[in-house]
Amino acid sequence: MLQKFFLLIVFGLFSFTSSQISHQYHFINISKNWTEAQSFCRDMYTDLATVNNVDEMNSLFKTITDVSHDVYIGLHRSQVFKWHWSLPDSFYNEDTFQNWKNGQPDIHNNEGCAVMQNNGKWFNDSCDTKRQFVCFNARANKMYILTEQNKSWREAQEYCRTFHTGLANARNNSENKDVSKTVNSEAWIGLFKDPWLWSDQSNSSFRFWNFSQLINISRDQDCGAVMVNETGRWNDVRCDVSLPFICHGDLKAHPTTKPATPRPATTQHIPAQNTTEQENTSTQPTKILTTGAEQDNLILVHENLTWIEAVSYCRKHHVDLVSIPSEELQNKVARKAFQAYTSHVWLGLHYSCTFNFWFWIKNTEMGCYQNWAPDHGPNGFEDCGISGAMESTGGHRWVGRPGRERLNFICQTCGSCQLCTAEL
Ligand SMILES: *[C@@H]1O[C@H](CO)[C@@H](O)[C@H](O)[C@H]1NC(C)=O
Ligand SMILES: *[C@@H]1O[C@H](CO)[C@@H](O)[C@H](O)[C@H]1NC(C)=O
Ligand SMILES: *[C@@H]1O[C@H](CO)[C@@H](O)[C@H](O)[C@H]1NC(C)=O
Ligand SMILES: *[C@@H]1O[C@H](CO)[C@@H](O)[C@H](O)[C@H]1NC(C)=O
Ligand SMILES: *[C@@H]1O[C@H](CO)[C@@H](O)[C@H](O)[C@H]1NC(C)=O
Ligand SMILES: *[C@@H]1O[C@H](CO)[C@@H](O)[C@H](O)[C@H]1NC(C)=O
Ligand SMILES: *[C@@H]1O[C@H](CO)[C@@H](O)[C@H](O)[C@H]1NC(C)=O
Ligand SMILES: *[C@@H]1O[C@H](CO)[C@@H](O)[C@H](O)[C@H]1NC(C)=O
Ligand SMILES: *[C@@H]1O[C@H](CO)[C@@H](O)[C@H](O)[C@H]1NC(C)=O
Ligand SMILES: *[C@@H]1O[C@H](CO)[C@@H](O)[C@H](O)[C@H]1NC(C)=O
Ligand SMILES: *[C@@H]1O[C@H](CO)[C@@H](O)[C@H](O)[C@H]1NC(C)=O
Ligand SMILES: CC(=O)N[C@H]1CO[C@H](CO)[C@@H](O)[C@@H]1O
């Protein structure tokens, strides 16, 4: 069972990159309604999360570190029902191969699933009708397999995903012929009509609904959420519910400006960049001087980097830019900062322009311990595109600095070790 596969997932650490996964997911442990969550993700990263396949779903699920709430993704209901091929990276539109029988496809704006006749022609039917179906198996010699049990389209999809790859798609004449050869009289294929869209306009047709939710076509539940207690399956929920959410894409160096209040031209919008690119900038030194101390899991890097470059550097070589949840850690970081060559050192603190709050990039929330300089932090005047730094000397207070400034910085070398999650 696919569900068993998900149960194996260990809740816990953030995973920032993976070479096979095209999306970088970030769990944001702040409850927002869906539209606010979308603004946050577009401001700080690329957008609310899109999922293309089960591997990405697995990777997304692993980033969820709090299971007390369901979690928004970028899926939302539109007014228009559209046909989709069910396999990843398969697109259906008016220009792609079609083999509908006369009077088809269904022009009604409602749910539908496609049946193939043994002559290769397609027609729509209610997805709840129980029929035979054709599975596709990417790894088998015989790629198209007719199953003679009668199942609803979704049961059939579930069966094919569990024992094969998925329902058979017929994206061109040659696939259509191969599929139709297996059909006795009529069988489900992996073509379905639904109204769901992704926030980032991606046309991913991957769907992962919880089984009993599938039938619920209640119109006021227009947003998609991952059900943490249902092995990552999706539920449709009301969009005004406040939930944590998942963004995808790289952290932006300079968050976009608030739509309502345009900022001065000096606040530049730099689009999301990919980490590999950032690490390859010409300013990246060949030799990096660090002051490490294995006992305290902190590393001072004696290089002048922008905030986003510092994040990249720490994530590549250690774990992350340092978070300071406690006075104990503040004192340790302060001792490190004292040895910096710049007046301030970057911390893993970032400011959300959209929502006017500060957060630690590692675990999102601002803890109880804070050491802001007067007029800085939550009560200060903040501009877009600033990040948090610590004074290298004096009171070692925290201040907001433009992210493009070049400063030394402190990485932490542990992810969930005791120091980094010290009691508040
Ligand atoms: C997420 O937020 C909730 C509520 O604010 C909090 O209780 C929980 O500890 C947080 N979890 C993590 C992993 O930060
Ligand atoms: C998931 O299960 C845990 C443990 O039973 C519970 O505390 C939590 O509230 C549940 N979350 C949801 C969203 O139902
Ligand atoms: C599936 O449904 C068809 C048509 O209703 C029926 O003739 C057939 O016996 C059913 N097959 C099974 C295995 O139940
Ligand atoms: C049909 O489409 C599949 C999937 O896109 C592709 O792998 C295959 O090469 C295509 N076959 C032909 C004959 O175009
Ligand atoms: C969306 O589908 C079209 C084909 O219908 C394809 O050319 C395009 O690349 C897809 N867009 C994305 C973002 O995947
Ligand atoms: C999710 O689906 C399972 C069956 O696959 C069902 O037992 C469970 O009740 C569903 N959860 C919700 C919240 O609908
Ligand atoms: C379906 O939607 C209705 C209306 O929002 C809700 O009351 C009901 O619990 C939902 N059914 C399931 C199985 O979640
Ligand atoms: C989300 O909250 C904002 C601000 O509180 C509000 O303007 C918006 O209408 C809400 N969106 C939904 C879908 O409830
Ligand atoms: C990310 O960087 C790699 C390597 O430089 C490049 O091949 C890829 O196109 C980049 N992706 C994006 C979205 O910029
Ligand atoms: C990084 O830059 C070097 C030298 O300019 C180049 O050879 C290399 O391909 C680049 N790597 C990436 C991942 O773009
Ligand atoms: C980093 O900046 C400091 C302060 O501006 C300067 O003294 C130092 O030389 C710079 N270091 C490098 C390697 O550029
Ligand atoms: C269940 C369903 O959606 N059936 C539709 C299939 O297409 C025909 C032709 O457009 C419609 O009449 C049905 O309502």
Q: What is the CATH number of the domain that holds 313?
A: 3.10.100.10
How far is it, in rounded angstroms, from Cα 236 to Cα 367?
32
Q: How far is Cα of residue 127 from the mean position of the Cα atoms in its chain?
A: 29
pLDDT for the residue 173: 95
- Looking at the CA of 424, name the nearest ligand: 1
User: What DSSP letter does each residue of 61-85 carry, written as one string?
Assistant: HHT----SS-EEEEEEEEEEEEEEE
Nearest CA to ligand 6 atom 4: 211
| pLDDT tens per residue, range 18-31 | 333 457 898 888 88
Atom of ligand 4 nearest to the CA of 90: 5
CA of 411 from ligand 5 middle (Å) equals 39
pLDDT above 60: residue 259: no
CA of 296 from ligand 6 middle (Å) equals 46
CA of 143 from ligand 4 middle (Å) equals 13
Q: Which of 229, 247, 265 is the last residue of a domain?
A: 247
Residue 81 forms part of a structural domain: yes
Least confident range of 145-154, 220-229, 274-283, 411-420: 274-283
Q: What is the mean pLDDT of residues 213-218?
A: 58
Q: Tell me, yes or no, whether 241 and 352 share the same domain.
A: no
pLDDT for the residue 265: 28
Q: 297 in the Ramachandran plot: left (φ > 0), alpha (ψ -120 to 50) or beta?
A: left
pLDDT above 70: residue 417: no
Q: What is the mean pLDDT of residues 260-264?
A: 31
Measured from the CB, is residue 286 less than 6 Å from ligand 10? no
| CB-CB neighbours of 240 under 10 Å | 12
Q: Tell me, yes or no, whether 283 and 397 share the same domain.
A: yes
Q: Give the pocket of ligand 6 (CB within 6 Å).
A: 210-213, 230
Out of 33, 199, 245, mutate this one to test ligand 8's pocket (max ligand atoms within 8 Å of CB): namely: 33
Q: What is the mean pLDDT of residues 111-127?
A: 94
Average pLDDT across the chain, whole number: 81
| pTM for the model | 0.69
Domain of 396 in residue numbering reads as 275-412
With tokens 């960049």, the residue in question is 273
Mapped onto helix, strand or coil, the DSSP state of residue 56 is helix
Q: Tell me, yes or no, whether 226 and 321 share the same domain.
A: no
CA dihedral 96, 112, 219, 80 (to 10 degrees): 30
Please give the residue that has the higher pLDDT: either 218 or 88: 88
Q: Tell me, yes or no, whether 243 and 279 share the same domain.
A: no
- Looking at the CA of 209, name the nearest ligand: 6
Residue 218 forms part of a structural domain: yes
pLDDT for the residue 279: 35
Q: Tell me, yes or no, whether 214 and 295 share the same domain.
A: no
| pLDDT tens per residue, range 233-252 | 999 999 999 999 999 998 77
Closest by CA to 55, choosing from 202, 199, 204, 197, is 204
The DSSP element (H or E) to which 223 belongs, if any, is strand 223-226
- Looking at the CA of 282, name the nearest ligand: 10
Q: What is the mean pLDDT of residues 12-23?
A: 37
Instruction: Return the top range by mean pLDDT from 76-90, 173-187, 295-309.
Output: 173-187
CA of 170 from ligand 4 middle (Å) equals 9
Least confident range of 70-84, 317-331, 373-387, 390-404: 373-387
pLDDT above 90: residue 321: yes
Least confident range of 81-85, 93-97, 207-211, 290-294: 290-294
Residue 173 forms part of a structural domain: yes
Residue 261 forms part of a structural domain: no
CA of 331 from ligand 5 middle (Å) equals 52
pLDDT for the residue 212: 64
Measured from the CB, is residue 171 less than 6 Å from ligand 4? yes
pLDDT for the residue 342: 95
- Burial status of residue 415 (CB atoms within 10 A of its CB: 0-12, 13-18, 19 or more): middle
Q: What is the mean pLDDT of residues 356-363?
A: 82
Q: What confidence category does residue 216 fall into, taking pLDDT thresholds of 50, 70 and 90?
A: low
pLDDT for the residue 283: 36
